[in-house]
Amino acid sequence: MAVFLWALAEAVALPVIPDVLLGLLLLAAPRRFVVLFASLCLGSIAGSLLLYALTMADPEAVRQGLLALPGINQPMVTAASGTVASSSPTCLLLFGPGTPLKVFTFAWANGAISPIGFLPAVILNRVSRIAPLAVAQVALGLVAPDFLRRHERIVLGLYGAAYLATYAVYLA
């Protein structure tokens, strides 16, 4: 449930990606991958639908809210509009860091674009951006569970430091 709620909140306004929690859970319980990843995808869909509806109701308020978030600026919003103009679900394929899903959602809802491909695009975005690292975390959790538990504090420290460094670079 926590992964679902985090993904929902991140799809609307939370600036911290749900991968942070997902990765820790996958290291500790790698066999729960399907349930955890499905929860993340469902939360992202729910949050994206909510943001889509909010954008349809008051696009300027949503735009201002997005621009108030760290790491989001007007050039990013403009570029996302160009990206989704095709309304092809594959336009949201994203490997690694990049434009947040919420910016693409705003662009899709705010443009004169058919909503038909939107939900498949959200799923493709989550699979392409999150699944590769999640699969690596599952593999590590399966191969080295004793090491991870024996060195829990070091692993947590390195994990946290990696995300802090990633955000420092991304938000710079």
Domain ranges of the chain: 2-171
Quick one: pLDDT band at residue 82, thresholds 50, 70, 90? confident
Which one has a higher pLDDT value, 140 or 87? 140
Quick one: pLDDT band at residue 135, thresholds 50, 70, 90? very high
| pLDDT of 95 higher than 70 | no
> For every residue of the chain, which 3-state class applies, written as one string?
CHHHHHHHHHHHCCCCCCHHHHHHHHHHCHHHHHHHHHHHHHHHHHHHHHHHHHHHHCHHHHHHHHHCCCCCCHHHHHHHHHHHCCCCHHHHCCCCCCCCHHHHHHHHHHCCCCHHHHHHHHHHHHHHHHHHHHHHHHHHHHHCHHHHHHCHHHHHHHHHHHHHHHHHHHHC
Quick one: pLDDT band at residue 136, thresholds 50, 70, 90? very high
| pLDDT of 99 higher than 70 | yes
Question: What does the pLDDT look like over 19-55, one tens digit per residue?
Answer: 999 999 999 999 999 999 999 999 999 999 999 999 9
Q: Please state the rounded mean pLDDT for residues 83-107.
A: 80
Q: What percent of the chain is modeled with pLDDT above 90?
A: 66
| pLDDT of 123 higher than 70 | yes
pLDDT at 73: 93
